Amino acid sequence: MKIKNICCIGAGYVGGPTMAVIAQKCPEINVTVVDINEERIKAWNDEDVENIPIYEPGLSAVVKEARGRNLFFSTDVDAAIDKADMIFISVNTPTKTYGIGKGMAADLKFIELCARQIARVSKDDKIVVEKSTLPVRTAEALKNILDNTGNGVNYQILSNPEFLAEGTAVDDLMNPDRVLIGGDIDTTKGKEAVEALVDVYAHWVPRERLLTTNVWSSELSKLTANAFLAQRVSSINAMSELCEKTGADVNEVSKAVGMDSRIGSKFLKSSVGFGGSCFQKDILNLVYISKSFGLNEVADYWEQVILMNDHQKRRFAAKIVQTLFNTVSGKKIALLGWAFKKDTNDTRESAAIYVADYLLNEQAEIVIYDPKVKTEQIYADLDYLNSRSSEENRARLKVVNTPYEATNDSHAVAVLTEWDEFKELDWQKVYNEMLKPAFLFDGRRLLKRKTKEEIGFEFYAIGS
């Protein structure tokens, strides 16, 4: 079974980059990315490839090479589905904000809408690939919808979870640790479908990195991977608070622990907390699944990872208030960084959102600088929390175009995203233009310790 036409429903942080790389590596396959968001598709088709809606190092070059050749972006979802041999579903699966499972379970309404649209449009057999992060057994629900609402065509459901880290997504796609493909490997048709997707990735990924499993193992593996990574972040952040009380330095502890070959050094850097679209959502999903099976101890174990992360964000914001003589009312606080990590413009669940919200509740005046996040996104993130009116958010939080504009005449500076440019700032200039005493809070342990002797800052870094 040779794939000639691929459709991807969803032009977001997963669908866009993944399909761009597939198109670049498989020039004989036509790849069409569809989305009902006209503005997003317009941005993907912008003549200036630097204006595509997602910032990832190297992505614009990949899109430039393939777009118009065998990579297309469209709002005509029905046409792309009809033409495709293989359909990737890469739509948002946010945590539910209503009903049963509110605050924990994944909201699968967009997945179901995709399934019903595929069933309505399809006239010949299709391979449907789950690319979104989904609860275990979602493939079963997909198949029930497709088999019972369609035109009598046959569908094979595959699970192909993404393991991309934003900021390195293109490199992760080009050189993956593994590509996981789950399917109905106990049937001939299922094996053929799995092999068809294996053949796509085999254009550039060595066969030994192409791991095939049953669907359920594939779905659960994605949740497990993110849970394990988030657990490491919360573990080192828990130790950072103990380090502050005992006089230990969390960087030294992290190095000592990470040199143990059984543990390794990755994801052992203390910070103001993890963010992004996946970690919290996937752990909450895992908690909900565990509770639904009556596995309350399992659920409690994983929920603690989230509780620790929330605690770290509150603790950092509270430290700012405490250090500034227990009040920040009317004081200008500069926040450097709004994206949840460097080299991306994604702000979902960014720690900066919650630190800013805490400080605004304390009547601070906030000024933000981030090199890639747009002003309207920053306000949208705060408005979503619904802590105060949109007008008040805009009155008391300003977004500026340079870091020095943010820090000028400020009482304190907090580094919340580990952008490389913050390492290169003229920190003596920053200090000179701040109100005194000048406070620097390093939420990413990005900077060398700026002691009074070196520059003059009252300096705080997590874990020391």
Binding-site sequence positions for NAD(+): 10-15, 35, 40, 91-95, 132-133, 166, 278-281, 348
Using alpha carbons, select from 172, 176, 161 the residue that is nearest to residue 206.
Answer: 176
* Residue pair 55/97 in contact by the 8 Å Cβ criterion: no
Amino acid at 227: A
Binding-site sequence positions for substrate: 162-166, 222-226, 262, 269-275, 340-341, 444
Beta pairing, strands 179-183 & 439-442? unpaired
DSSP strands (E only) in 220-371: 332-336, 365-369
Rounded to a whole number of angstroms, the CA Rg of the chain reads 24
- Helices 351-361/375-385 angle, 10° precision: 60
> d(Cα 118, Cα 124) in Å, to the nearest integer?
11
Torsion from C-alpha of 219, 274, 18, 283, nearest 10 degrees: 10
Alpha-carbon distance 423 to 151, whole Å?
59
Other CB atoms within a 10 A radius of the CB of residue 148 amount to: 8
Smallest Cα–Cα separation from 277: which of 227, 222, 350? Answer: 350
From CA 116, how far away is CA 289, in angstroms rounded? 24
CA 204, chain centre distance (Å): 25
The question of whether 278 is a catalytic residue gets the answer yes
272 touches 313 (CB < 8 A):
yes
Contact 166, 13 (CB under 8 A): yes
Give the pair of three-digit tokens for residue 326.
Answer: 């227990």
DSSP category for residue 94: P
Catalytic residue among 7, 8, 243, 278: 278
Q: At what angle do helices 279-292 and 215-246 cross, to 10 degrees?
A: 110
Q: In whole angstroms, what is the distance from residue 157 CA to residue 227 CA?
A: 25
Q: Is the Cβ–Cβ distance between 175 and 144 less than 8 Å? A: no
Q: Which of 151, 5, 10 is nearest to 77 (CA)?
A: 10
Q: Which residues are annotated as a binding site?
A: 10-15, 35, 40, 91-95, 132-133, 162-166, 222-226, 262, 269-275, 278-281, 340-341, 348, 444
Query: What residue spans of 73-127 are helical by DSSP H?
Result: 77-83, 109-121
Chain Cα centroid distance, residue 259: 28
Give every strand in the sheet of 439-442, ordered side by side.
Answer: 397-399, 365-369, 332-336, 412-415, 439-442, 458-461
Neighbours of 102 (CB within 10 A): 12
Q: Indicate the residue type of 68.
A: G
Catalytic residues, by residue number, are: 278
